[in-house]
């Protein structure tokens, strides 16, 4: 008998004690008690069985089982007849899992080194593949507004530690926005569980979006994340930025996503207390608190400046050098 399935039947055999002969025509006199997993015995839902075929299968009676009555690993049935001298042996049944349940058990089994560590085995290979996965889930998109072009809300299983997943890579593999992949540059675990990304989503995820976050080898940036605001000549870096004055002087700050994206500026001064970086020339569109994603690139400012200076001091090309 299969476990926890409806429309199953149990057959019993009734016989006369002093003769050993099958007892026919006794269905109305037979009742049955059922015990599941060693629990208290109760009457079966099918009060009396149905006689199968008195002529061809004498003594065989059938009880119809409900799904609930089969929902146990061990099912014991004790039948008896009020007819004198009629004997019915008890049934002890160990139920079997259906193929679907076996599949579920296999797929839901935890893959651990203790149980899945045979080289080249399917379990070991799945464990190796999963070792780089940090977390997966479905974005709750609270109130329909949590997700924006520059962020996605992770679900309740996500870490409550700020910065846990940055840098990391996030892939939307199902639901709205499926197929998009971005890098996480800042993560707010203690409050909102928002992950801020390096480039705008082409399609903003919603509460159907399934994601997976996996490890990243890191960035060559010295600082990146969500801007705390700015002016036309400055940007406020995030809480992870250096506390030392002028740490980023001469480096390039690039607006990668959100408001003001695709602009860069060379940092001319940096206040480690306020996290404000002053830039050489004005932004066309100033970064906005909580709406602009940036990164600070090391040493590139000096390279840009050197190129600019070289162009400015280079003598004009002699007439006719290109054949004119």
Predicted confidence at residue 88, as pLDDT, reads 97
Q: Are residues 194 and 237 in the same domain?
A: no
Q: What's the CA gap between 184 and 85, in Å, rounded? A: 79
Q: Is 87 helix (H, G, I), strand (E, B) or coil?
A: strand
Beta pairing partners, 178: none
Task: Give residues with Cβ within 8 angstroms of 31, minimum separation 6.
Answer: 43, 44, 47, 48, 79, 80
Position 118 in a domain: no
Predicted confidence at residue 74, as pLDDT, reads 97
For residue 5, cis peptide bond before it (omega within 30 degrees of 0): no
Q: Are residues 272 and 207 in the same domain?
A: no
CA 42 to the chain's CA centroid: 43
Q: Are residues 209 and 235 in the same domain?
A: no
Count of CB atoms within 10 A of residue 188's CB? 20
Q: What's the CA gap between 133 and 126, in Å, rounded? A: 11
Q: What's the CA gap between 106 and 125, in Å, rounded? A: 15
Q: Are residues 61 and 33 in the same domain?
A: yes
Position 107 in a domain: no
Nearest to 192 by CA among 143, 154, 240, 230: 154
Domain boundary among 94, 125, 158: 94
Q: Are residues 208 and 279 in the same domain?
A: no
Domain boundary among 193, 215, 237: 215
Residue with tokens 């399917």: 122
Q: Are residues 89 and 137 in the same domain?
A: no
Task: Give residues with Cβ within 8 angstroms of 7, minimum separation 6.
Answer: 64
Position 209 in a domain: yes
Predicted confidence at residue 191, as pLDDT, reads 94
Position 70 in a domain: yes
Count of CB atoms within 10 A of residue 172's CB? 21
Beta pairing partners, 53: 57
Q: Are residues 207 and 230 in the same domain?
A: no
Output the six-digit token pair for 87. Answer: 């004997």
Position 110 in a domain: no
Q: Are residues 13 and 89 in the same domain?
A: yes
Residue with tokens 């830039």: 279
Q: Are residues 228 and 205 in the same domain?
A: no
Domain boundary among 169, 184, 215: 215
Count of CB atoms within 10 A of residue 158's CB? 21
Domain that holds residue 188: 133-215
Position 114 in a domain: no
Predicted confidence at residue 310, as pLDDT, reads 61
Tens-binned pLDDT, residue by residue, of the chain (324 aa): 999 999 999 999 999 998 899 999 999 999 999 999 999 999 999 999 999 999 999 999 999 999 999 999 999 999 999 999 999 999 999 999 888 888 777 777 777 777 777 877 777 777 777 777 889 999 999 999 999 999 999 999 999 999 999 889 999 999 999 999 999 999 999 999 999 999 999 999 999 999 999 988 777 788 999 999 999 999 999 999 999 999 999 999 999 999 999 999 999 999 999 999 999 999 999 999 999 999 999 865 555 556 556 666 555 545 444 443
Considering its fold, how many domains does the chain have in total?
Answer: 3
Q: Are residues 235 and 273 in the same domain?
A: yes
Position 42 in a domain: yes
Q: What's the CA gap between 222 and 217, in Å, rounded? A: 14
Q: Are residues 182 and 235 in the same domain?
A: no
Position 285 in a domain: yes
């Amino acid at each position: 008998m299969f476990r926890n399935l409806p429309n199953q039947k149990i057959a019993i055999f009734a016989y006369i004690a002093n003769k050993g002969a099958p007892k026919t025509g006794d269905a109305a006199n037979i009742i049955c008690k059922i015990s599941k997993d060693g629990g208290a015995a109760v009457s079966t839902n099918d009060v009396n069985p149905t006689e199968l075929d008195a002529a061809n299968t004498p003594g065989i009676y059938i009880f119809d089982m409900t799904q609930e009555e089969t929902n146990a690993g061990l099912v014991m049935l004790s039948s008896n007849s009020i007819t004198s001298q009629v004997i019915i042996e008890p049934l002890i049944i160990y139920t079997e899992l259906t193929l679907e349940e076996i599949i579920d058990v296999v797929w839901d089994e935890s893959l651990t080194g203790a149980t899945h560590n045979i080289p080249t085995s399917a379990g070991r290979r799945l464990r190796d593949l999963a070792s780089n996965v940090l977390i997966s889930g479905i974005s709750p998109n609270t109130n329909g507004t949590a997700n924006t072009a520059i962020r996605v809300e992770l679900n309740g299983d996500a870490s409550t530690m700020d910065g846990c997943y940055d840098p990391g890579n996030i892939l939307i593999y199902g639901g709205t926005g499926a197929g998009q992949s971005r890098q996480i540059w800042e993560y707010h675990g203690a409050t909102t569980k928002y992950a801020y990304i390096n480039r705008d989503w082409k399609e903003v995820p919603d509460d159907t979006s399934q994601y997976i976050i996996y490890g990243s080898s890191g960035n060559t940036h010295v600082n990146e994340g969500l801007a705390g605001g700015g002016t036309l000549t400055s940007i406020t870096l995030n809480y992870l930025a250096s506390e030392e004055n002028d740490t980023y002087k001469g480096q390039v700050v690039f607006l990668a996503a959100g408001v003001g994206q695709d602009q860069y500026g060379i940092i001319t001064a940096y206040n480690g207390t306020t996290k404000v970086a002053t830039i050489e020339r004005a932004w066309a569109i100033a970064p906005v608190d909580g709406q602009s994603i940036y990164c600070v690139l090391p040493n590139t400012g000096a390279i840009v400046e050197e190129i600019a200076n070289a162009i400015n001091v280079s003598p004009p090309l002699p007439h006719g050098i290109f054949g004119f």
